[in-house]
Homo-oligomer: A and B are copies of this chain.
């Protein structure tokens, strides 16, 4: 009801951060699969049930920016300038996300993720949720006359672009290449080719 005032919230946030930090440290040290939830809980000095009251699953301990990722994607659609074309906005946002997660400082984490099939699968199912959210945002935009089918396809294409680019040797170049494909795909969904690129490159 009232604002998020108070000590309680701070303590809760502190507990959450302590759990996440402890977990990440242990995971990086010994590998994701070699660390049990009971280890994390003991090291963070909380009960196992407390871990699961803050995080929905063991994998979720690693992907804290989950909600952030999704919000940034949808806001690239809903929050763009009134006359700004869709795809450049999406391209820009995804480029920032790719750059962020291919930074040198993030390398150890991604090495850890790639070493665990559980984490890799979790990441992809996360991405699917993001695609669904993006598809909803696209379908709700009155400036886009496309069908819901086209919106859903575009949403998944954009997520694909992120996923493929992240694993490429040159992520930025790969991303640009895929977005050229996506631009072309999106162009053919325009009833009259309003703001497309009618002549190709």
Q: Is the CB of A156 within 8 A of B163?
A: yes
What are the residues of chain B within 8 A of A153 when measuring CB–CB? 157, 160-161, 164, 177-178, 181
* Contact segment of A12-20, A46-54, A182-190: A182-190
A121 beta carbon closer than 8 Å to chain B: yes
Nearest-neighbor residue (CB-CB) of A160 within chain B: B156
Nearest-neighbor residue (CB-CB) of A163 within chain B: B156
A124 to B124, CA, bound (A): 8
A180 beta carbon closer than 8 Å to chain B: yes
A108 beta carbon closer than 8 Å to chain B: no
A147 to B121, CA, bound (A): 25
Q: How many copies does the complex hold?
A: 2
What are the residues of chain B within 8 A of A163 when measuring CB–CB? 156
What are the residues of chain B within 8 A of A133 when measuring CB–CB? none
Using A128-B124, A153-B161, A156-B163 as known contacts, say yes or no to A201 and B174 having CB atoms under 8 A apart.
no
What are the residues of chain B within 8 A of A96 when measuring CB–CB? none
Q: Is the CB of A181 within 8 A of B150?
A: yes
Q: A186 to chain B: closest CB distance in Å?
A: 7
What are the residues of chain B within 8 A of A121 when measuring CB–CB? 121, 125
Q: A90 to chain B: closest CB distance in Å?
A: 15
Q: Is the CB of B156 within 8 A of A177?
A: no
Q: Which of B157, B161, B173, B200 interacts with A188 by CB under 8 Å?
A: B200
What are the residues of chain B within 8 A of A150 when measuring CB–CB? 177-178, 181
Known: A124-B125, A160-B160, A181-B188. 17 other contacts (CB 8 A): A149-B164, A149-B168, A149-B177, A150-B177, A153-B161, A153-B178, A156-B157, A156-B160, A156-B163, A157-B160, A157-B181, A157-B185, A180-B189, A184-B188, A185-B185, A188-B200, A188-B201
